């Protein structure tokens, strides 16, 4: 905590300290060979006396931000500008969630190391995390391991006056975690009648496994590690014997910036509505329910900063 005296009175200004997160970050960068080699290769003048070199870490961060499209490559002073951010992160002064995510991605940190850093950061921030994680205890098998990280998802569901789910519109941005990422695996309900890829790819093969149905969305060209792509698709549903009473979106890995809305027909609104978390793609009751509301136009909406190893969505009764 820093106490500052201001003219005309005394004011207490509390600054969060992230000493444990900083110490863990520095230890990982210094002791993990795969991380250390990345910044050591960019050391120009080594005056750090065995410590992590701030300028070299800033250079790794700048290269990642260029590669991921966060900043244009024309901004050649980016590494210098990031030195203060890196210094604050390593001396425990301040680590924002954005800084932590950038460093995790820049050094291609393992899922275990990333989890440790995020958990420590959330604890030291003194606030309740505004994301959802670890509801799924027994993940289902997948056709292949996840080779991307989801940066943003905007998802919209539409129901008709009979209460039937008619379509789902999704806008998706992902970042490749390795070279050669050429498709996205879209898991969906068995009541899907058609999928139209409107932008950023084409519809690929269908898969059935472990009770799930999925389609590949194939990109125009494979992505390289750190590269991002945006795509948009529309899902059409066939009528079912009974109108649905929930929509679910699974997050096997980590989805950042998740935005979901359900559009009910104003002539048929649910009697009760909840924002829900499940432990499975399709089976079981929610493990957590939170009352939600529908606006006058029939729209229910929720934004969360991240969803990880969980299934989320809306549940309602008619």
In the chain, pLDDT over 90 holds for what percent of residues? Answer: 45
Residues 155 and 283 in one domain: yes
Tokens read off for 309: 């190893």
Note whether 118 and 27 are same-domain residues: yes
Q: What is the DSSP string of the chain?
A: -EEEEETTEEEEE-----HHHHHHHHHHHHH-HHHHHHHHTT-SS--STTSPPHHHHHHHHHHHHHHTTSS-TT-TTHHHHHHHHHHHHHHTS---HHHHHHHHHHTT--HHHHHHHHHHHHHHHTS--SSEE---SSPPP-SS---EEEEEEEEEEEE-TTS-EEEEEEEEEEEESSTTEEEEEEEE-TTEEEEEEEES-EEEEEEEETTEEEEEEEEEEEEPTT-EEEEEEEEEE---SS---EEEEEEEEEEEEEEEEEE--TTS--SEEEEEEESSSSSS--SEEEE----TTSEEEEEEEEEEEEEEEEEEE-
Quick check: 176 and 226 in contact, CB under 8 A? yes
159 and 192 belong to one structural domain: yes
* Mean pLDDT along residues 110-121: 80
Are both 52 and 99 inside the same structural domain?
yes
Q: Which residues of 137-148 are buried (b: 16+ CB within 10 A; e: fewer)?
A: eeebeeeeebbb
- Indicate whether 203 and 245 sit together in one domain: yes
Pair 50, 167 in one domain: no
More confident residue, 55 or 122: 55
Count CB atoms within 10 A of the CB of residue 152: 15
Question: What was the pLDDT predicted at 7?
Answer: 34
Do 147 and 33 share a structural domain?
Answer: no
What CA–CA distance (Å, rounded) separates 86 from 72? 20
pLDDT by residue (tens digit) across 61-79? 999 988 877 788 888 889 9
Residue 75 sits in the same domain as residue 151: no
Identify the domain boundary among 87, 113, 129.
129
Specify the number of domains making up the chain.
2
Residue with more model confidence, 219 or 94: 219
Average pLDDT value over all residues in the chain: 84
**pLDDT band at residue 10 under the 50/70/90 scheme:** very low
Of the residues 109, 129, 149, the one at which a domain ends: 129
Q: What is the pLDDT of residues 37-59, one digit of tens each?
A: 999 999 887 655 558 999 999 99
Domain harbouring 182, CATH code: 2.60.40.3140
For the stretch 226-282, pLDDT in tens is 898 999 999 999 999 999 999 999 888 788 888 899 999 999 999 999 999 999 878
State the residue range of the domain holding 259.
Answer: 134-317
121 and 139 part of one domain: no
- pLDDT band of residue 17 (cuts 50, 70, 90) is low
**Domain match, 146 and 232 both:** yes
Same-domain status, 299 and 161: yes
Model confidence pLDDT, tens digit, residues 149-203: 888 899 999 999 999 999 999 999 898 888 999 999 998 888 899 999 999 999 9
Residue 50 pLDDT: 57
Q: What percent of the chain has pLDDT over 70?
A: 88
The terminus-to-terminus CA distance of the chain in angstroms comes to 52
**Residues 172 and 291 grouped into a single domain:** yes
Choose the final residue of a domain: 94, 129, 164: 129
What pLDDT, on a 0 to 100 scale, did the predictor assign at position 23? 83
């Amino acid at each position: 905590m820093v106490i500052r005296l201001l003219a005309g009175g005394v004011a207490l200004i509390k600054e969060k300290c992230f000493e444990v997160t900083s110490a863990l970050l520095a230890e990982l960068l210094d002791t993990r060979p795969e991380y250390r080699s990345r910044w050591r290769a960019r050391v120009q003048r080594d005056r750090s006396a065995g410590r992590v070199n701030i300028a070299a870490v800033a250079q790794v961060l700048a290269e990642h931000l260029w590669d991921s499209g966060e900043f244009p490559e024309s901004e050649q002073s980016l590494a210098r500008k990031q030195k203060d951010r890196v210094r604050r992160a390593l001396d425990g002064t301040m680590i924002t969630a954005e800084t932590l995510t950038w460093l995790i991605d820049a050094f291609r940190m393992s899922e275990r190391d990333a989890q440790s850093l995020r958990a420590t950061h959330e604890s030291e921030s003194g606030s309740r995390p505004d994301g959802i994680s670890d509801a799924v205890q027994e993940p289902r098998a997948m056709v292949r391991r996840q080779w991307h990280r989801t940066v943003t998802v905007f998802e919209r569901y539409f129901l008709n006056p009979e209460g039937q789910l008619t379509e789902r519109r999704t806008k998706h941005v992902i970042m490749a975690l390795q070279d050669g990422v050429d498709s996205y695996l879209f898991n969906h309900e068995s009541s899907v009648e058609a999928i139209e890829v409107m932008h950023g790819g084409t519809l690929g093969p269908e898969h059935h496994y472990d009770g799930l149905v999925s389609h590949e969305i194939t990109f125009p060209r494979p992505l390289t590690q750190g590269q991002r792509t945006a795509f948009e698709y529309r899902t059409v549903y066939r009528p079912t014997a009974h109108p649905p009473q929930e929509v679910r979106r699974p997050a096997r890995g980590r989805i950042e910036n998740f935005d979901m809305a359900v559009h009910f027909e104003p002539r048929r609104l649910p009697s009760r509505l909840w924002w829900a978390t499940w432990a499975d793609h399709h089976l079981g009751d929610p493990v957590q329910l939170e009352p939600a509301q529908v606006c006058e136009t029939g729209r229910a909406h929720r934004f969360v900063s991240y969803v990880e190893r969980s299934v989320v969505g809306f549940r309602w009764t008619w």
